[in-house]
Amino acid sequence: MRFASFFVLALACMAAPADEFPTSAGAVRITPIQHASAMLEAAGQVLYIDPAQGNYEGRPAAHLILLTDIHGDHLVPAVLARLRTPSTVVFAPEAVAKTVPGVTIIRNGETRTWAAWTIEAVPMYNVVRGPAPGRFYHEKGRGNGYVLTYGGRRFYFAGDTEDIPEMRALRNIDVAFVPMNLPYTMTPEEAARAVRAFRPRVVYPYHSRGSDLHAFEQALAGTGIEVRIRNWYGE
C-alpha cells in the first residue's frame, strides 16, 4: 500500500513538474497540481492557490493559502484541513469566509502583505455567460483573482473570469495563469485576445479541461508572449 501511494504521487509529480522563476529575492517554484490548483515555493515557504482538486498526498503543509471563489473546484474543506496548520494564513473573498472559519478577508482592489509577498486581489467575473438569462456563473465582486509580487516579479492567477476590462488593464505581469473552459469562463480565442491586451511575458492556460489549448497557443503566435502548456489533468 505504501508503495502504491508513492507510485501515484510520483506519477503526479512527473505529469506536472515545477517551473522555476528567478527573482531578486530568490527563485519562485510553481507546481501545477490540477485544474486551478497550484503550489508555489520560495524561501522555504509554501503557498497554495485554490487547493481543491488533485492529489495532495505527500505535499507539504501550507504557510499561505489563497482562495478565489466558493465553487467546489476551488474550495474543498477537507483539502484545506489537510494543508492547514495553526499558523497557516488563508486569504479569501468574503463569500468564502461565510463558510470557512479563520480566513483573512481580502476584497477586489485591496492589497495585503505577507512575508516578502505583496498580494493584490483583482476582479474575476462573467460578462456574458451564466446558468440563466440575467444571471452569471461568477458575479462581479464575489471572487478574487490575485496578482502576487515577489522579488520584483509579478504573478497573476486569474481565477474564473471572462475577458474583462480589469484583466486588460493589468501591466508588468511576468507570469499569468488564465482560464479557458466553457461554459464557465471563456474560449481559448477569447483568452488569447485578453492576453494580447495585457501582454504577460509567460502565460499558462489552466482551468481548461476539454479546451483546445493549441488554438490558444496559435492565437498568440508571433506576439512574443511565451505560452507554456502543462499537464493539469494527468492525461
In whole angstroms, what is the distance from residue 174 CA to residue 25 CA?
15
CATH number at residue 89: 3.60.15.10
In whole angstroms, what is the distance from residue 235 CA to residue 213 CA?
14
In whole angstroms, what is the distance from residue 142 CA to residue 18 CA?
30
**Has residue 11 been placed in a domain?**
no
**Has residue 12 been placed in a domain?**
no
Number of domains in the chain: 1
Residue 132's Cβ-count burial label (10 Å; 0-12, 13-18, 19+) is: exposed
What are φ and ψ of residue 174, in 5° steps?
-85, -45
| Residue 164: C-alpha distances to residues 9, 103, 158, 227 (Å) | 37, 27, 11, 20
By three-state DSSP, how is residue 174 classified?
coil
In whole angstroms, what is the distance from residue 52 CA to residue 228 CA?
22
**Has residue 6 been placed in a domain?**
no
**Has residue 235 been placed in a domain?**
no
pLDDT the model gives residue 2:
39
In whole angstroms, what is the distance from residue 162 CA to residue 182 CA?
10
Look up residue 35 and give its DSSP letter. Answer: T
**What pTM does this model have?**
0.92
**Has residue 205 been placed in a domain?**
yes
The H or E element spanning position 176 is strand 175-179
Summary mean pLDDT of the chain: 93
**Has residue 125 been placed in a domain?**
yes
**Has residue 117 been placed in a domain?**
yes
Handedness of CA 128, 129, 132, 135 (dihedral sign): negative
Write out pLDDT tens, residues 138-181.
Answer: 999 999 999 999 999 999 999 999 999 999 999 999 999 999 99
Rounded average pLDDT per 10-residue block, the chain, 235 residues: 39 66 98 96 98 95 97 94 97 96 97 98 96 94 97 98 98 98 96 98 96 97 97 85
Q: Which structural domain range is residue 98 located in?
A: 17-227
Question: Cα 105 from chain centroid?
Answer: 18
